[in-house]
Structure 1
Amino acid sequence: MAGRPTTDALQRAQGKRLALHLRRLRALRGWSRAQLADLAGISPRTLERIEAESTSNPGLFTVAALADAFDVSVDELVAEARGTAGAGIVSAGYEGRSIEEFVEQLLVRNVRTVADVRLTPLSRKPGFSKTKLTDALTEAGIGYRHLRALGNPKENRPPFWEGRAAEGRAVFRSLLDQDPAPQALDELFDLAAKETVAVLCFEQDEDRCHRKVICDMARADHGLPVASLG
């Protein structure tokens, strides 16, 4: 169905996550690719293809051999690839992306829930209005929450459009002290302490969006890791 990630897209996302995780683990141990291949008893060419994301579905025996080389369980290694590990926030703007590209990037980042901080979850961009977006996310195994209380009111949008973002952020920050925003923030940060949550709005550049205030609070006040969708 249009707007939903295919099985191939899901497998590609898992392959990317596994490749990133293997490279991280290898770097932490100071191993070359040849050293890891030797320790795992697999061919350097096989490992090269996995790390280069040329294969999205390595065999079970290969994954088990890699897990054994790193002295971790297969479950731990596979959890990273399936996106069942980690917590924190991903700052996510959908500007310039198709819904398919957007969902695939969420999967790569291990996102489990999207927190929509648009005041009104409607978009002229195909796939990003609430119903279609929820359908695409559900198909990918990602949850959706619309946190209307964390939306930026219309009267505070011109500063972000006119190069006065600092002014707009200051106004929005003051609004977060008013009910029901504190409750919505608690909901968001409690969830992000348990799993990876994408904070969604339109602008790809966080500096031009009110969500930067939310992400900065997550970092400074709650010690949550915050990454960009890229």
Structure 2
Amino acid sequence: MAPPLFTIGYEGATPDALVAALRAAGVTRLVDVRELPNSRRPGFAKRALSAALEAAGIAYDHARALGTPAEGRAAAKAGRTAEMQRIFAARLAGTEAQAALAQLAGQARAERVCLLCLEADPMRCHRRLVAEAVAASDEFVIAHLHPQGMLPRS
């Protein structure tokens, strides 16, 4: 059976609900795919989030190379999902992103990994594209988590 590769968005969540969803899915490593791991939401900036995860026994990694560049974030914020996807596809084609994808695939083969970004809906978020890129090179089942439970598979 193919191993799972999880994704989760923290929009509308609390840090406790996020950690609970990760623990319920058996996630052992969270990979933050935000280019800038900052947040106005308490508990979701890199330092606070990594500390909460560490306390829960979940490892934290930040994969900046798999984040959406500023122009892609602006397109997403404006609701131009297709434009964000085009911009992000160009980022994924780069050498640094390809190396990060290979590292992520190795981690996901070795343990239960979840990709994190803000957007609650994985269909509107670049983390789905990251998961699909990893799954294209390896056999993974992509499962989208939500702090309130698992979403239907893509």
Quote the offset at 1:229 in angstroms: 0.8
Matching of residue 130 in structure 1 with residue 69 in structure 2:
no
User: Which of 92, 107, 124 is the matching residue for 2:8?
Assistant: 92
User: Which of 16, 19, 22 is the matching residue for 1:106?
Assistant: 22
CA distance in 2, matches of 1:201, 1:112: 17
1:210 corresponds in structure 2 to 126
Equivalent residues of 1:199, 1:211 under 8 A apart: yes
CA distance in 2, matches of 1:173, 1:186: 16
CA distance in 2, matches of 1:183, 1:220: 15
What letter is aligned with 1:147? A
Larger Rg, first or second structure (1 or 2) = 1
CA distance in 1, matches of 2:66, 2:119: 15
Quote the offset at 1:228 in angstroms: 0.9
CA distance in 1, matches of 2:82, 2:92: 15
Q: After TM superposition, which residue ranges in structure 1, 4 or more long, deviate above 4 angstroms?
A: none
1:153 corresponds in structure 2 to 69
Percent of aligned positions with the same letter in both sequences? 39
Matches within 5 A, 1:211-226: 211-226=127-142
Quote the offset at 1:165 in angstroms: 1.2
Equivalent residues of 1:117, 1:146 under 8 A apart: yes
Please provide the CA RMSD for this pair. 1.5
Relative to total residues, which structure has the larger helix share, 1 or 2? Answer: 1
Q: Which structure would you say has the larger RCO, counting Cα contacts within 8 Å and 6 or more residues apart?
A: 2
Matching of residue 227 in structure 1 with residue 130 in structure 2:
no
TM-score, normalised with respect to structure 1: 0.60
Unaligned ranges ≥5, structure 2 = 147-154
Secondary structure of the corresponding residue to residue 19 of structure 2: helix
Equivalent residues of 1:159, 1:167 under 8 A apart: yes
Relative to total residues, which structure has the larger strand share, 1 or 2? Answer: 2
Matches within 5 A, 1:1-230: 87-230=3-146
Unaligned ranges ≥5, structure 1 = 1-85
TM-score, normalised with respect to structure 2: 0.88
What letter is aligned with 1:112? T
